[in-house]
Amino acid sequence: MSDSGTPTGKLSRIRVAGAAAAQASVSQLRYATKRLTGDTDDDELRRLRDESIGKAVFQALGQLRGGALKISQMLAAHEDLVPPAVRQELAKASYRAPSLNRAVVRRMITMSLGQTPEQLFASFEPDAFAAASLGQVHRAVERDTGRRLAVKIQYPGIGDALRNDIAILRALFTTLAVVTPASDGRAPNMKAVEPLLAEIEDTLLEEVDYRHEALTTSWFRKYLRHDLVVIPQVVPKFSSSVILTTTLLEGKHLEEWLATNPSKEERDRIGQALCDVFFECVFELGIVHADPNPGNYIFTDDGRLGLIDFGCVQLIELRNVQLVAATLLAYAKGDLEQAITEYQRVGMLSPTLTAAQRAEIVELMRPSQEWVSLVLGADEIDFAEHPEFMTSMRRSALTLGPAFQRPRRGLLYLSRALWGLFSMLTQLGAKVTMAGRVPPPERLQTLQSMGQVIDEVTGDAESGRMSYSSLKA
């Protein structure tokens, strides 16, 4: 265990996860026993069981931090992977976790920035007000300007623990899937969870270096322009590889904001802003904020939407942008044969499909066609009228997924961002317009190679599509 209280050894981390799994088993047994007695309504029993399991998982994730907390953020954005009561606890883990010891915080700042918090800032709150996946966030005030700052401090020893977390979490959620009967439709969906775990394994180590996030945050602040969207400004003099300081965005997280009963107009306005950001990022900037968990959105008091935590940012290969545009448009038109052709061009489907195989794949595509037509075929869609949308979308993906002979690298990030968008729109119950936002593939042919954006898209040939080489220069 590190001096921060975070268990770093593999055995100690397994014990934490094992305790959560044991508590989940006890909750399931208690539910089954009470159900037999018939003393309480079954739906209420299920809710209490799920809430108990969720609290056990949240407690474990809060202790493990790191990769464990990252997976909680990801699962919180996926409404149908886990029961609602569990998802609510996971959503809390997106921005809350047990705080580091004050002495550890002070030592981290002093060692990394060369001065004590008292020397660096006009004021500094030693207790964290929010948790990130790899660290926690403190409020501070800059001496010269009086600006309110958010100082994110990485959990000590977190790098040593990351490699063990995926296997541990895989075992934990597999146990939850086992102890929660699949028959009631509320067990974790391991077929959907597993790809997310694999993705974290590939990307999380890059996020350990906060200098990477400082650069991506600054890039998005410069090039993503929307009247309703605000992105914090990085303060380099108070930042390092393990500390990231930005201007403070004050407001509420999604669950807290919805609890204030915002008007339908407010929810629609925010929902449309989310759509605008997604389509601009994918089809104009060629980059996506690939960590769309609820904790990364701040609903400010002046009615704007704050975007934070740019540690997981993914460039989208031009061919993938073209593939997404072509297949979405084919689905929207009902031309499933064209969609098959597009998948064949990139090797996701065999180029030698028989007529019978094509016909079978067409049938597998119909659920996907339904949701794409719903969002792109009409002038507008009101997600408040389609509470089943996320479940339908997930089922369509699980239906079609096995047909592909191999996944295409880079699409998982884009799918995750798209899923996050629709999850937010569903929770907001927003009415938005997406029709006409997907450009034809031939227009995308004019995009230049990685590292550039054409005049037609941005009006500035030197603005540049971001590349990792330019980020790290």
One domain for residues 189 and 76: yes
User: Is the residue at 193 inside a domain?
Assistant: yes
One domain for residues 362 and 461: yes
**Strand duo 381-382 + 431-432: pairing:** antiparallel
> Per-residue pLDDT tens for 178-228?
655 554 445 555 655 666 666 666 677 778 889 999 999 999 999 998 999
One domain for residues 334 and 451: yes
Mean pLDDT of 24-30: 46
**The Cα angle at residue 218 between residues 441 and 210, in degrees rounded to 5:** 110
User: Is the residue at 411 inside a domain?
Assistant: yes
Cα 443 to Cα 437: distance, rounded to the nearest angstrom: 13
One domain for residues 87 and 185: yes
Q: Which of 367, 380, 384 is nearest to 430 (CA)?
A: 384
> Per-residue pLDDT tens for 134-158?
889 999 999 999 999 999 999 887 7
| Adjacent-strand bridge partners of 142 | 121
Q: Which of 212, 204, 210 is nearest to 163 (CA)?
A: 204
Q: Which helix (H) or strand (E) holds 79?
A: none
Angle between helices 318-333 and 355-376 (to 10 degrees): 90
User: Is the residue at 131 inside a domain?
Assistant: no
Cα 294 to Cα 130: distance, rounded to the nearest angstrom: 13
One domain for residues 68 and 184: yes
Are 311 and 216 in contact by the 8 Å Cβ rule? The answer is yes
Asked if pLDDT for residue 394 goes beyond 90, the answer is: no
> Per-residue pLDDT tens for 277-318?
999 999 988 888 887 778 899 999 999 999 999 988 888 888
Lowest-pLDDT range of 47-51, 174-178, 205-209, 268-272? 47-51
Please indicate whether residue 389 or residue 412 has the higher confidence score (pLDDT).
389
User: Is the residue at 243 inside a domain?
Assistant: no
Residue 71: C-alpha distances to residues 64, 157, 166 (Å): 11, 18, 9
Among 33-37, 163-167, 380-384, 460-464, top mean pLDDT goes to 380-384
Strands of the sheet with 305-307, listed across from one edge: 229-230, 305-307, 297-300, 251-252
**Residue 389 binned pLDDT confidence (cut-offs 50, 70, 90):** confident
Q: Which of 439, 463, 441, 460 is nearest to 451 (CA)?
A: 463
One domain for residues 197 and 315: no
Picking from 169, 188, 203, the residue at the C-terminal end of a domain is: 203
User: Is the residue at 114 inside a domain?
Assistant: no
Picking from 169, 203, 237, the residue at the C-terminal end of a domain is: 203
The DSSP code for 281 is I
Mean pLDDT of 353-361: 94
> Per-residue pLDDT tens for 426-443?
999 999 999 999 998 877
Picking from 203, 233, 261, the residue at the C-terminal end of a domain is: 203
User: Where do runs of H (alpha helix) occur along 180-263?
Assistant: 190-207, 210-223, 254-258
**Terminal CA-CA length for the chain:** 35
| Adjacent-strand bridge partners of 130 | 137
Please indicate whether residue 130 or residue 339 has the higher confidence score (pLDDT).
339
Rounded to the nearest angstrom, the gap between the alpha carbon of residue 297 and the centroid of all alpha carbons in its chain is: 10
What percentage of the chain reaches a pLDDT higher than 70? 63
Lowest-pLDDT range of 54-58, 257-261, 298-302? 54-58
pLDDT at 285: 86
pLDDT at 204: 72
Asked if pLDDT for residue 400 goes beyond 70, the answer is: yes
Asked if pLDDT for residue 455 goes beyond 50, the answer is: no
Cα 377 to Cα 50: distance, rounded to the nearest angstrom: 37
One domain for residues 194 and 266: no
pLDDT at 410: 75
Q: Which of 1, 108, 125 is nearest to 63 (CA)?
A: 1
pLDDT at 88: 63
Asked if pLDDT for residue 108 goes beyond 50, the answer is: yes
Residue tagged 């052709």 (tokens)? 341
One domain for residues 184 and 281: no
Please give the full DSSP string across 146-189, using - where no structure is assigned: --EEEEEEEPTTHHHHHHHHHHHHHHHHHHHHHHS-GGGT-S--
One domain for residues 340 and 440: yes
User: Is the residue at 29 inside a domain?
Assistant: yes
One domain for residues 185 and 67: yes
**Residue 460 binned pLDDT confidence (cut-offs 50, 70, 90):** very low
Amino acid at 380: E
What percentage of the chain reaches a pLDDT higher than 90? 44
> Per-residue pLDDT tens for 317-333?
888 999 999 999 999 99
Asked if pLDDT for residue 402 goes beyond 60, the answer is: yes
Mean pLDDT of 252-258: 94
pLDDT at 427: 93
Asked if pLDDT for residue 54 goes beyond 80, the answer is: no
The DSSP code for 138 is E
One domain for residues 169 and 258: no
User: Is the residue at 398 inside a domain?
Assistant: yes
pLDDT at 190: 61
Q: Which residues contact 319 (CB under 8 A, 6 or more apart)?
A: 346
Domain span holding position 71: 10-93+159-203
Q: Which residues contact 342 (CB under 8 A, 6 or more apart)?
A: 323, 326, 327, 330
pLDDT at 63: 55
User: Is the residue at 235 inside a domain?
Assistant: no
Longest dimension (CA), the chain: 73
One domain for residues 427 and 293: yes
Number of domains in the chain: 2
